[in-house]
């Protein structure tokens, strides 16, 4: 029996937990594709054959505002995970494993920059690609 998700565990990538105390996200998009190969035929539409699963990409976006929720160091941790090039298990808050994913992109936007160049908010987008 699955347990209800809590704010402390929205999503887990390896040992990194997306949550209110680390890095909460507001948007999650998952795109799953399947591959079909076409062969031309004379006087008819191409014959199409299913050849297997395609890409499975996940995009996670949100904002880190340490005064409210999250830590800037969590973004550094995600960058370090991406630097390894390793695939990590991605599991939702209900404990369902989606597969093994690599980080292929991390976009950061600093907003409301204060004295010393310190932002009050960093918007982030993490792009994952399934590897297994």
Q: Exposed (0-12), middle (13-18) or buried (19+): which is 111, by Cβ within 10 Å?
A: exposed
Q: 41: which strand partners?
A: 44
Indicate the helix (H) or strand (E) that contains 83: helix 72-84
Q: Answer yes or no: are the C-beta atoms of 59 and 29 closer than 8 Å.
A: yes
* 80 backbone dihedrals φ, ψ, rounded to 5°: -65, -40
Total residue length of the chain: 132
In the DSSP assignment, the letter for residue 63 is E
Each of the 132 residues of the chain gets a pLDDT tens digit; together they read 455 555 567 899 999 999 888 998 999 999 999 999 999 999 999 999 999 999 999 999 999 988 887 888 999 999 999 999 999 999 998 889 999 999 999 999 998 888 878 888 999 999 999 998
Q: Which of 77, 71, 93 is nearest to 126 (CA)?
A: 77
Indicate the helix (H) or strand (E) that contains 91: strand 88-92
């Amino acid at each position: 029996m699955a347990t209800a998700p809590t704010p402390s565990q929205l999503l887990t990538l390896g040992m990194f937990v997306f949550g209110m105390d680390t890095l909460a996200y507001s948007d999650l998009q998952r795109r799953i594709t399947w591959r079909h190969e076409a062969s031309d035929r004379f006087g008819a539409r191409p014959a199409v054959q299913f050849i297997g699963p395609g890409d499975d990409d996940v995009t996670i976006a949100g904002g880190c505002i340490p005064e409210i929720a999250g830590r800037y160091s969590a973004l550094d941790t995600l960058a370090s995970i991406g630097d390894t090039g390793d695939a990590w298990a991605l599991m939702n808050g209900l404990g369902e494993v989606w597969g093994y994913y690599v980080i292929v992109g991390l976009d950061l936007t600093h907003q409301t920059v204060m004295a010393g160049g310190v932002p009050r908010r960093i918007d982030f987008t993490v792009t994952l690609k399934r590897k297994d």
